[in-house]
């Protein structure tokens, strides 16, 4: 029995959820998201509760039960509150700024790194060493943050690079004489 799957998803005020067959659409103040669920689960929408149940007792249906519930919950949360992923930049001369529809970063290379901001996301730089990726789609926010971090991952000796704000970098000791 899935502990995650058996909990119903509650849609908050200001979010309208429509279910048509296996397609779930959520509309809120931050936009509209749509998701087609797998055939192994059944979805029901009553008032402001969304319940997901497996169609049979197969292993795949039970696996998809919790997965489908998490995806629907993330969708409802995304259109009502949104998701934020914060990044921190460490290193001498390392900085970032938003120019038009691009995130421009100086990361110790001989050139500046330009990252085009994807549709559905907003990227802000409160100062030169912090980046905030915001959006309604949790997967898109995480993917964009991962791609930005991938331009210069943090290294373990001096801690230079781009890291998640809540990430701890395990530091190594350097060479000894």
Q: Return d(Cα 98, Cα 102) in angstroms, integer.
A: 6
Q: Beta-strand (E) ranges in 63-152?
A: 83-90, 95-99, 102-106, 113-116, 121-124, 130-135
Is pLDDT of 111 > 90? yes
The mean pLDDT value for 141-170 works out to 95
- Architecture of 83-164 per CATH? Alpha-Beta Complex (3.90)
The mean pLDDT value for 112-120 works out to 94
**Tell me: the pLDDT tens digits for 56-85?**
999 999 999 999 999 999 999 999 999 999
| pLDDT given for residue 174 in this prediction | 87
71: left (phi over 0), alpha (psi -120 to 50) or beta: alpha
Q: Return d(Cα 94, Cα 32) in angstroms, integer.
A: 36
| Residues contacting residue 155 through CB under 8 Å, at least 6 positions apart | 161
Q: Are 136 and 82 in contact (CB under 8 A)?
A: yes
Is pLDDT of 1 > 80? no
Q: How confident is the model at residue 40 (pLDDT cuts 50, 70, 90)?
A: very high
Is pLDDT of 47 > 90? no
120: left (phi over 0), alpha (psi -120 to 50) or beta: left
9-80, CATH topology level: Outer Surface Protein A; domain 3 (3.90.930)
Q: Are 138 and 84 in contact (CB under 8 A)?
A: no
Is pLDDT of 3 > 90? no
Q: How confident is the model at residue 126 (pLDDT cuts 50, 70, 90)?
A: very high
The mean pLDDT value for 5-15 works out to 90
| pLDDT given for residue 5 in this prediction | 87
Q: Return d(Cα 174, Cα 177) in angstroms, integer.
A: 10
Is pLDDT of 154 > 80? yes
The mean pLDDT value for 89-111 works out to 94
> Where does CATH 3.90.930.12 sit in the chain?
9-80, 83-164
């Amino acid at each position: 029995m899935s502990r995650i799957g058996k909990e119903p998803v509650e849609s908050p005020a200001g979010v309208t959820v429509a279910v048509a067959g296996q397609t779930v659409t959520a509309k809120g103040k931050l936009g509209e998201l749509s998701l087609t669920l797998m055939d192994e689960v059944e979805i029901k929408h009553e008032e402001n509760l969304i319940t997901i149940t497996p169609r049979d007792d197969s292993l795949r249906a039970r696996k998809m039960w919790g997965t489908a519930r998490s995806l629907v919950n993330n969708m409802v949360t995304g259109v009502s509150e949104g998701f934020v992923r914060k990044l921190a930049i460490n290193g001498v001369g390392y900085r970032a700024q938003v120019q038009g529809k691009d995130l421009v970063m100086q990361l110790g290379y001989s050139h500046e790194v330009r990252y085009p901001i994807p549709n559905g996301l907003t990227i802000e730089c409160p100062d030169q060493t912090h980046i905030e990726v915001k959006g309604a789609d949790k997967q898109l926010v995480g993917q964009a943050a991962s791609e930005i971090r991938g331009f210069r991952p943090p290294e373990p000796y001096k801690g230079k690079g781009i890291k998640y704000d809540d990430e701890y970098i395990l530091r190594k000791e350097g060479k000894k004489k």
